[in-house]
Amino acid sequence: MDDMKMSEELPNSASRRNFIKGVIAAGAAASSTAYLFRSTTLHSQPSAPGAVERLVTLNVNGQDRRVDLLPQDTLAWTLRYKLGLTGTKLGCDRAECGACTVLIDDVPHYSCSVLAHRARGKKIVTIEGLADAATGKLSPVQQGVVDEQGFQCAFCMSGFVMATTGYLKTNPNPTRQELAHGISGNLCRCQDYDKILTALMKGAEYMRNA
Amino acid sequence: MADDKLVGQNCTTPALVATVTGKSRCAEDDRLEGMLVAELLGSEGAWTS
């Protein structure tokens, strides 16, 4: 008992307590910063020097874009906050909702769960790259959405449109049931699925007739 | 009202084309000049019991 009391009074012990307090405070500051910027704490950690190349080229919507990447940067994060392509939405940031779907080499991927480094050397297409850049002509799926007004708040829209565009490349003539299955990885919080499917089926029809 | 040309007509939402091409911006897409931190507060009134 006396020993414990003594150790409590040692100057070292007091400084250790202060040290731990400091660590807790720093941890709280780091995690609240991460919350505000909609990221995991990984984003705010410095990368180990020399681990991977930082300045890389990503092919986005047909353009080669130079971007400074940390190893832990996700593709969605990179597209939105480093390349300014905010049409790609972050809904859950954990591969549940599909709002961040983009095409990588024509295959739909949840960009929140793909590291940007994994997309090097591949062709990335986002919602901004669907319409014809020169004429502004909408892609068939986009035109279907405009004509049928398929979405309510449209936060999930870019994910649905990208997923459909990718799915139609493998099955250009789907039944309503097949298309519903093809985009089942995307969620709509407005519960507007029936109108969304109608709009996307219209898009599929436009694509076949184009 | 004399100007009733929209009554009974289908109307396209004004921002629809911008939305469908990814150009429209949600509140959290904005970064203001010099902004370090922002917090989005939802309405406390828009609830049903």
Separation between Cα atoms, residue A207 and residue B30, nearest integer Å: 33
Question: A55-77, pLDDT tens digit by residue?
Answer: 999 999 999 999 999 999 999 99
Burial class of residue A82 (count of CB atoms within 10 Å of its CB; 0-12, 13-18, 19+): middle
Quote the pLDDT of residue A1.
44
Give the residue from A145, A143, A139 showing the smallest Cα distance to A126.
A139
Quote the pLDDT of residue A126.
97
Question: A29-50, pLDDT tens digit by residue?
Answer: 544 444 445 545 455 555 555 5
Residue A17 half-sphere exposure toward CB, CA atoms < 13 A: 7
Q: Which DSSP state fits A175?
A: -
Say yes or no to pLDDT of A16 above 80. Answer: no
Give the strand pairing for A101-104 and A123-125.
Answer: antiparallel
Give the Cα-Cα-Cα angle A115, A90, A199 (nearest 5 degrees). 115
Provide, as residue numbers in chain B, all residues whose Cβ is less than 8 Å from the Cβ of A111: none
Q: What is the mean pLDDT of chain A?
A: 85
Provide, as residue numbers in chain B, all residues whose Cβ is less than 8 Å from the Cβ of A85: 22
Quote the pLDDT of residue A210.
85
Question: A129-175, pLDDT tens digit by residue?
Answer: 999 999 999 999 999 999 998 899 999 999 999 999 999 999 999 99
In DSSP terms, A103 is beta-bridged to A108, A125
Which residue of chain B comes nearest to A130, CA vs CA? B21
Give the strand pairing for A55-60 and A123-125.
Answer: parallel
Residue numbers of chain B with a pLDDT score lower than 50: none
Say yes or no to pLDDT of A52 above 50. Answer: yes
Rg for chain B, CA atoms, rounded: 18
**For testing contact with chain A, the best of B9, B20, B26, B35 (most A CBs within 10 A):** B20
Separation between Cα atoms, residue A157 and residue A149, nearest integer Å: 11
pTM of the model: 0.75
Separation between Cα atoms, residue A109 and residue A141, nearest integer Å: 18
Smallest Cα distance from B47 to chain A, Å: 15
Looking at chain A, the whole-number percentage of residues with pLDDT higher than 90 is 72
When CB atoms are compared, the residue of B13, B17, B25 closest to A86 is B25
Quote the pLDDT of residue A163.
98
Quote the pLDDT of residue A34.
45
Smallest Cα distance from A139 to chain B, Å: 9
Provide, as residue numbers in chain B, all residues whose Cβ is less than 8 Å from the Cβ of A126: 22
